[in-house]
Structure 1
Amino acid sequence: MQGKMMNQPLIVSSILEHAERYHGDTEIVSQTVEGPIHRYTYAEAHKRSKQAANALLKLGADTGSRIATLAWNNFRHFELYYAISGIGAITHTVNPRLFPEQVSWIVNDAEDQILCFDTSFSTLIESIAPQCPSVKYWIAMTNRDHMPDIRVPNLVCYEDLIASESEEFTWPRLDENSASSLCYTSGTTGNPKGVLYSHRSTLLHALSSALPDAMNLSGRDVVLPVVPMFHVNAWGLPYTAPLVGAKLVFPGDGMDGESLYQLFESEGVTFSAGVPTVWLGVLQHLRNSGSKLSTVERMIVGGAACPPALMQSFRDEYGITIQHAWGMTELSPLGTVNTPKSKHLGLDDEERFKLDIKQGRPPFGIDLKIVDDNGNELPRDGQTSGDLLVRGYWVIDQYYNKDDSPLVDGWFPTGDVANQDKDGYLQITDRSKDVIKSGGEWISSIELENIAMSHAAVSEAAALGLSHDKWDERPLLVVVRKAGQDVSREEILAHYQGKVAKFCIPEDVIFVDEIPHTATGKVSKVTLRKQLSDYRWPAPK
């Protein structure tokens, strides 16, 4: 016997409909690329999203069409999130920090038909347009006065495009399992891989993210997502905030400490989320200016491990809680958030801090387990580490354009090594792949090694991610010169120019006579790290 309840599909457009209906006068504030602050309401955003939906349909967008965005966090990007997914097309957020060849590869792999971009990326767009034959229209997300002077076919002004469209539009009743958005992840060998989210997974992720033991958001909050909307949909905040009716504040491209501080204070921000580098910049501004954050209560840090000293500084100097979170593109991305249980509230400062520096425990909808090399589940004792596996309502089943599934017996292998305590708190202890996480971006050590060894004077190379005060990790390149060659550090670094994005270029190069290997002939990075235990980054010039 089945239940006698309504069968309403879980679709993205229902979030913005709810926000308009019950939080219509709540503000969305944006620092624009053009300069001025823009502000309007959820009700106005919904109307403009419907105008954009009508416009995209006239341009030929259809169910399943991939429509790319190359943009910062701002009101137009927010509108497109809902307009694209709402008509049954797929919102494909592209990371503009990647090397141009990677951007064009991703656009081509997705077969994007339309690409919407902020004008600050005009030069990038002009360079990749000839390599992206599937893109029929290039939409500059600005008004007529700020249109870029670039040679791109079928260049369209966003504001002109939607101005003539009706504000009336009925969102189609889509299959909740149909695709809503697409993000590409990299950091391992080979080309980036696409993760294709569904309407159902996106809405369930937004609901669970808002729970008290997750991001704890409500209509009383003012949310500023510093994490970019091209980084796993800004960790879902453009969906979670309107779902609960929170005021949204978008920083645009103003990611520096001073710009963020001004927005925090002027808009009364209570909650924010970003990578450790962001909070380090904010901390430096507060210390240098003698300022205080008068409204911010909580900050979520993810993308890389938060230095304990940074957490302590915000807590002790400014009374602000930084909460660890962990996730992956393949997890939409939320996997865990560090929120204490009632029994932890009485812990002394030292014991509580030992808990706080862990990555946290999963919300409803995510399940974790730690296994040994044979797949046997390990005890949750907070000590025994193994491979981290995950499953859940918003976890990948298969990569876009890939026939095989990455799952092992229904679980996704994350590539991280971790332990879990009896209360489920996760602590990442290592990673099985040598991915370098720098400022929230992932850098492939294998790619760096391959480029180094393409130099005529290099015999062997190994790339390591070493701890860095500002960027969490930076790549260090260890090189063995070929016999009779005297290549310099500067020549090696120059060899990377034009081959990878600037943030991927190693921070330093050191030369050794021999790189240690394992019994099977692989580079022993464990041994190499021990040998380099006394290494320190050169002082900035």
Structure 2
Amino acid sequence: MTNGLTMDDYPLSLTAVVERAEQFHSTKDVVTRRPDGSIARTTLGACARRARRLATALADLGIGDGDKVATLLWNQAEHLEMYFAVPSMGAIVHTLNPRLHADELTFIVGDAQDRVIVVDESLLEVFDSFRLTHHFDHVIVVAHDRPAPAGMLDYETLIATAEPMIWPLIDERQAGAMCYTSGTTGRPKGVVYSHRAIVLHSMAVALPDALGVSTQDTLLPVVPMFHVNAWGLPYAAALLGARLVLPGPKLDAVSILDLIETEKVTMTAGVPTVWMTMLDALDAQPQRWDLRHLDRLIVGGAAAPRSLLEGFDRHGLRVVQAWGMTETSPMGTVSRLPADLENCDDNTKYDFRARQGVAMPFFDIRARNEDDGFIEWDDVAMGELEVRGPWVASGYHNGTGADSFTDDGWFRTGDIVRIDHRGCIRICDRSKDLVKSGGEWISSVDLENHLMAHPSVAEAAVIAVPDTKWGERPLAVLVLRSGMTADPEQLREHLSSEFARWQLPERFEFVSTIPRTATGKFKKRDLRDQFTA
């Protein structure tokens, strides 16, 4: 008998991660490239100590348990301090994507009910586009070369005058972070991450057969810190003591390659678009950069083509593909070559590496077909991928999107997959008609609805077509009203009032009729067959 006692009920809270960075990894570098290209250097320990003072400053402004604190920041040291401070004090850090249209940002901050926002001075123009649509109790500005604008608080001044906070005891199931994703209607949905989920995710991504993060690494997350917590890499770096290189807003191939070379980066992560432009730069000037330290490039956010894997192999660089979603924190599967395939021919290896990978430990997968049965793992049958696990959402903020979750608690991903005998998934299609461009979702339904609000447009269908740079781009197929005219530039101008520039269709095709199913829905598969070429 054990008298009911087993192990210490130690809370899996981010407080422990932050304290570990402060106590064990205090001297590890945190390197930030500012918007002007200059380099700022600090350490994990300094960020953790500043986070204590930042937390006190936020508490003095009235922020308490469960309050949302928004960030409009790049990948920079101040963003890392927000990652540390806000969850550790019991509040929720809510990262905003500055690429979104002002209307979407307005909806998101209102839905989340953010009380305070921290903005980098280079993003004040983005903030101005929606600041009057939502009341923030306080606006804090990370100012580099000038004082914070009138009526706003200066980030450095707040930290300088605050006492370090002694972290409160945090329940591991308490919310610590929040991101928004888009659904089929295009309305963003809030995903709230618990401390427990983030801690377990941080440990899982560090496993050797996942991303293999260690204290020997120098990590460069090209993936933004406003995009699903930069795939968990900042927290993994704090937990394991890896050096962290934060690239700021300059994400062109040459700038990233220069940073990889000068900082001796061992692992970097981003969407395929980034790596495609990097590969072009390497092919054009193969001798320009010394990348001997770069061990692996993690690609996610969209499927990586085989040509990308082959291209980097030519330069002696290894691409590792991973899959996940905002709802999965995001890492779910990783495509690591199994030991028994090491001696196979190149074609077999590339075929496996081009898949989206095998589920990480504690991440369960299954796929359901149209007849509501579960598919065999024979790499032939196709079904919608469903997942569950300790870092998978069980619902959306404010109770929206309940149909995305099954009655027995699995999340419906919307991805149509095949699964082989190893449990390795291959994404074949999507059950929804969202366009994924450069790792970001674009709603075809929203584009269609707004196009059909144009006086010249009778019908509109938007489909995803392959694009060598962005993975996918939206293409609009239109039927004009009798006697009416419209050209692509007029239609883009019409859409620009509701959508960001990168969300606008690349092409417009004008037809007399759009094929429909028996129930009156657009037959988008026929349109893809017609216009993909």
Using the size of structure 2 for normalisation, the TM-score is: 0.97
Q: Distance in 2 between matches of 1:101 and 1:375?
A: 37
CA distance in 1, matches of 2:322, 2:334: 4
Aligned twin of 1:537? none
How much has 1:446 moved relative to structure 2?
0.4
Q: After superposition, give the CA deviation of every residue in 1:26-54 in whole Å (9 maximum; x if it has no partner).
A: 11111123542111111111111111111
Supply the distance in 2 between the matched residues of 1:141 and 1:83 (Cα, whole angstroms). 15
Q: Deviations over 1:384-438 (max 9, x none)?
A: 1111100111111111011674321221111110011010111000000011000
More divergent stretch after superposition (413-422 vs 479-488): 479-488
Q: Alignment partner of 1:112: what SS?
A: coil
Q: Aligned residue for 2:70?
A: 68
- The structure 1 residue matched to 2:18, chosen from 8, 16, 40, is 16
What is aligned with 2:253?
257
1:214 equivalent in alignment to 2:210: yes
Alpha-carbon distance in structure 2 between the residues aligned to 1:436 and 1:403: 21
CA shift at 1:472, angstroms? Answer: 0.6
CA distance in 2, matches of 1:90, 1:392: 21
Deviations along 1:118-145, one digit per CA (max 9) or x if unpaired, are: 1111112123221112x111111224x4
Please give the alpha-carbon distance, in whole angstroms, between the structure 2 residues aligned to 1:4 and 1:480: 68
CA distance 1:404–1:460, shift in 2 (3 Å): closer
Contact 2:64 2:91 in 1 (8 A): yes
8 Å contact from structure 1 (residues 365, 394) kept in 2: no
* Distance change in 2, residues 1:379/1:235 (3 Å): same
> In the alignment, what sits opposite 2:378?
381
- In the other structure, the counterpart of 2:134 is 132
Tell me, yes or no, if structure 1 residue 439 matches structure 2 residue 438: yes
Tell me if structure 2 keeps the 8 A contact 1:460–1:481.
Answer: yes
Q: State the alpha-carbon separation in 2 of the partners of residues 403 and 277 from structure 1.
A: 31
* 8 A Cα contact 1:336 1:359, kept in partner: yes
Which of residues 46, 49, 65 in structure 1 aligns to 2:48?
A: 46
- Hey, what's the Cα distance between the residues in 1 that align with 2:257 and 2:477? 39
- 1:239 equivalent among 225, 235, 240: 235
Contact map agreement 1:119 1:147 (CA 8 A) in 2: no
1:495 Cα deviation (Å)? 1.4
Q: Residues 137-536 of structure 1 correspond to what in structure 2 (within 5 A)?
A: 137-143=138-144, 145-147=145-147, 149=149, 154-166=151-163, 168-290=164-286, 291-292=288-289, 293-316=291-314, 318-402=315-399, 405=402, 406-408=404-406, 409-534=408-533
Choose from 96, 119, 122 the match for 1:120: 122
Task: Quote the offset at 1:148 in angstroms.
Answer: 5.3
Secondary structure of the residue aligned to 1:82 is helix
* TM-aligned CA deviation for residue 80 of structure 1: 0.7
Distance in 2, Cα, partners of 1:416 & 1:104: 29
Could you tell me how far apart the structure 2 residues matched to 1:481 and 1:83 are? 54
Q: Measure, in 2, the Cα distance between the counterparts of 1:345 and 1:514.
A: 52
SS at match of 2:129: helix
Kept after mapping to 2: 8 A contact 1:179/1:197: yes
Q: Whole-Å Cα distance in 2 between the matches of residues 529 and 54 of structure 1?
A: 55
Counterpart contact for 1:224–1:272, Cα < 8 Å:
yes
Deviations 1:413-467 (A, max 9, x none): 1111001101011100000001100011110000111111111111111101100
Alignment: residue pair count? 527
Aligned-residue CA RMSD in angstroms?
1.4
Distance in 2 between the 1:432 and 1:170 partners? 48
Q: In the alignment, is the contact (CA less than 8 A) between 1:187 and 1:443 conserved in 2?
A: no
Contact 2:466/2:532 (8 A) holds in 1: no
SS of residue in 1 equivalent to 2:397: coil
1:244-280 C-alpha deviation (Å, 9 max, x unpaired)? 1111000001101111111101111000100011111
2:31, 2:96 → 1: CA distance? 23
Q: Is the 8 A contact 1:34 1:146 kept in 2?
A: no
Distance 1:38 1:494, change over 3 A: same
Identical-pair percentage: 42
1:249 and 1:362 map into 2 onto residues whose CA distance is 28
Match of 2:261, as an amino acid?
A: E
Contact 1:33 1:118 in 2 (8 A): no
Equivalent residues of 2:191, 2:326 under 8 A apart: yes
Equivalent position of 1:538 in the other structure: none
Which structure 1 residue ranges, 5 or more long, are not aligned?
535-541
- Structure 2: gaps (5+ residues): none
Deviations 1:498-519 (A, max 9, x none): 2211111111101111111111
- SS of 2:358's equivalent in the other structure is coil
Q: Does the residue aligned with 1:29 lie in a helix, a strand or coil?
A: strand
The one-letter code sitting in structure 2 at the alignment partner of 1:299 is L
- Mapped contact 2:186–2:443 kept (Cα < 8 A): no
State the alpha-carbon separation in 1 of the partners of residues 147 and 465 from structure 2.
42
Cα deviation code 1:174-223 (max 9, x no counterpart): 11000000100014205210000000011001011110111011000000
Return the alpha-carbon distance in structure 2 between the equivalents of residues 76 and 493 of structure 1.
Answer: 36
